[in-house]
Structure formats: structure tokens, C-alpha cells
């Protein structure tokens, strides 16, 4: 009996990993895989277990990370070049994942799952999340995703085509009112908004400053108040499904 217990403990320790997450999306993916117990550090913006906070992907506390001695640090590819460079110098085992486009969600979730040897579970989760999701036919309706504002109701941050939200519009069969392929996110004022004249405007925050300019438009205004709309994990598909229903 004692021998069996020793072998069990050895087996558990052999697979237990200490992981540092640098974004809420990464932490959520780890939790979905049932691996919250592996977290030894997380970003300042993450929910989840009470573990050390290490800053963010853009401003990582490298000293804290080093002291945690993680087996794996997971970070987004669009993190600060300085941070990525310092991680290489520290020779930390680092997994860089993309999280800027809709297709990146599946790719990154499966990469993280592979680190925990849970690929089958990841595939099952993705299948369940997408079961009610359907790609809609292309329409001529122009839409705009408003991410935030300047706090004064004078300018708004909007999502371009080559972004996660640009992909969502494409998936929903809507044309992005922004035609510039290069710009990912832009700040636009009232004049530019009137010129774009979108059929649909989707606000990612119900607190977005309302302006008289919107009353001059015939746009359908949709206000979103969902946490999953801002975190590119498999739960993001729940947001797309909810948005599909709102657009019917």
C-alpha cells in the first residue's frame, strides 16, 4: 500500500506544472481545461485563484516571474518586444500564442491544451461552444464595432477589418464600415462617423459616452454588456451566438 501511495505522489508531481498567465484570456483557457491549480502567477487583470500578480504582457514584472520559477509562462505574441526579448534572455520556458483574430482562439486553446496533455478535452469544449454557431450569408449592411470612447463623447475607438471584431462582423455576414485594411483600431470623430453612416453600430460597453451625433444617424444601435465579449477565449463564441440573436 505504501509503495502505491509513493508511486501515485511521484506520478502526480511529474505532471504538475507551475504556470504563469499574462492575460485574462489565457487564465480563462487554463481554467476551462481544469488546470487552475497549476497557476502560480497571473496578470493584474485576471480573475481566478489567489496567486501572485505579475503585471501584464505589456508591462511584465520580470523579477516576480523569475522568483516564481514557473515551468511555463504563456504570453500573447503581440506583447511588448522588450518583454519577449527579456524572457528569452532569462531562458524561461515560454509559450507564445496569437490572440488577435477569431481563428486564433482555437489555435491558442489547442496549444495551451497540448501543454497540459488535454487536447481531447479542448476539442470537446470547442465543439460544444460552436454547436449553435452558424456563419451567415454576406449582406450589404454596413456595421461598426465601437470599442470605447475618449470620455467626452467627441471621439470613438472603432475596430478595423484585420481584428477580432472585424472577423466577427465578417462571420455575421456584415460589411465593416471601415474600409482601411491596414488600420486595426482607429479613433474617429463625429464628422467621420456621419460620413461612414453605418446601418448597425455595436457598442462593446453600455457606458460608452452617448452623443447627439447618433441621433442624426438612422443606424440600429446595439449595446453589449457581456464580459465574454472582451476576452478572446472559447467563451467568446457565446458572445457571438448572443449577438446573432440580437441581430435577428
Question: Over the stretch 142-178, which tens digit does the pLDDT of each residue have?
Answer: 999 999 888 887 899 999 999 999 999 999 999 999 9
| Percentage of residues in the chain having pLDDT higher than 90 | 71
* pLDDT tens digits, one per residue of 48-87: 899 999 999 889 999 999 999 999 999 999 888 889 899 9
Position 16 scores a pLDDT of: 63
Checking if the pLDDT of 189 tops 70, the result is yes
Are 108 and 99 in contact by the 8 Å Cβ rule? The answer is yes
Are 234 and 126 in contact by the 8 Å Cβ rule? The answer is yes
The Cα 42–Cα 48 span in angstroms is 9
Q: Do residues 125 and 146 share a domain?
A: no
In the chain, the number of structural domains is: 2
What would the mean pLDDT of 131-136 be, rounded to a whole number? 86
Last residue within a domain, chosen from 79, 109, 130 = 130
Position 8 scores a pLDDT of: 43
Q: Which domain, by its residues, includes 62?
A: 14-130
Are 54 and 42 in contact by the 8 Å Cβ rule? The answer is yes
pTM of the model: 0.89
Per the rule left: phi > 0, alpha: psi between -120 and 50, beta: everything else, 105 is alpha
What's the CA angle centered on 205, arms 203 and 208, to 5 degrees? 80
Helices (H), ranges, 96-235: 102-115, 119-130, 164-171, 190-196
Position 144 scores a pLDDT of: 96
Residue, of 203 and 6, whose pLDDT is higher: 203
Checking if the pLDDT of 243 tops 50, the result is yes
What would the mean pLDDT of 103-107 be, rounded to a whole number? 98
Mean pLDDT across the chain, nearest whole number? 90
Q: Do residues 183 and 122 share a domain?
A: no
Q: Do residues 104 and 20 share a domain?
A: yes
Q: Do residues 122 and 202 share a domain?
A: no
Q: Do residues 219 and 178 share a domain?
A: yes
Question: Do β-strands 142-149 and 200-203 pair in parallel, antiparallel, or remain unpaired?
Answer: parallel
| 197-222: burial string, b at 16+ Cβ within 10 Å, e else | ebbbbbbbeeebeebeeeeeeebeee
The Cα 173–Cα 183 span in angstroms is 21
Q: Do residues 174 and 114 share a domain?
A: no
Checking if the pLDDT of 10 tops 70, the result is no
> Which residues, including other chains, have CB under 8 Å from residue 52's CB and lie 6 or more apart?
40, 41, 42, 64, 68
Instruction: Out of 11-15, 75-79, 178-182, pick the least confident.
Output: 11-15
Phi, psi at 196, each rounded to 5°: -65, -40
CATH number at residue 215: 3.40.50.1980
Position 237 scores a pLDDT of: 97
What would the mean pLDDT of 84-105 be, rounded to a whole number? 94
Position 34 scores a pLDDT of: 97
Q: Do residues 124 and 182 share a domain?
A: no
Is residue 2 in some structural domain?
A: no
What would the mean pLDDT of 196-223 be, rounded to a whole number? 85
Phi, psi at 117, each rounded to 5°: 60, 45
The Cα 142–Cα 184 span in angstroms is 17
> For residue 22, what is its C-alpha cell?
499574462
Amino acid at each position: 500500500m505504501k509503495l502505491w501511495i509513493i508511486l501515485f505522489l511521484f506520478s502526480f508531481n511529474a505532471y504538475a506544472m507551475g504556470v504563469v498567465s499574462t492575460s485574462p484570456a489565457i487564465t480563462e483557457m487554463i481554467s476551462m481545461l481544469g488546470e487552475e491549480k497549476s497557476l502560480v502567477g497571473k496578470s493584474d487583470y485576471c480573475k481566478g485563484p489567489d496567486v501572485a500578480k505579475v503585471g501584464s504582457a505589456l508591462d511584465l514584472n520580470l523579477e516576480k516571474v523569475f522568483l516564481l520559477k514557473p515551468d511555463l509562462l504563456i504570453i500573447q505574441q503581440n506583447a511588448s518586444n522588450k518583454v519577449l526579448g527579456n524572457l528569452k534572455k532569462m531562458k524561461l520556458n515560454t509559450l507564445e500564442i496569437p490572440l488577435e483574430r477569431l481563428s486564433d482562439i482555437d489555435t491558442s486553446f489547442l496549444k495551451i491544451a497540448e501543454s497540459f496533455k488535454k487536447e481531447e478535452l479542448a476539442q470537446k469544449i470547442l465543439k460544444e461552444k460552436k454547436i449553435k454557431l452558424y456563419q451567415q450569408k454576406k449582406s450589404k449592411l454596413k456595421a461598426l464595432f465601437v470599442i470605447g470612447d475618449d470620455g467626452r463623447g467627441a471621439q470613438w475607438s472603432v475596430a478595423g477589418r484585420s481584428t477580432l471584431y472585424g472577423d466577427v462582423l465578417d462571420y455575421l455576414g456584415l460589411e465593416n464600415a471601415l474600409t482601411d485594411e491596414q488600420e486595426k483600431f482607429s479613433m474617429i470623430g463625429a464628422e467621420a462617423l456621419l460620413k461612414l453612416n453605418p446601418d448597425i453600430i455595436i457598442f462593446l460597453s453600455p457606458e460608452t459616452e452617448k452623443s447627439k451625433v447618433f441621433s442624426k444617424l438612422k443606424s440600429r444601435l446595439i449595446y453589449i454588456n457581456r464580459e465574454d465579449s472582451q476576452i478572446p477565449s472559447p467563451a467568446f463564441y457565446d458572445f457571438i451566438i448572443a449577438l446573432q440573436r440580437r441581430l435577428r
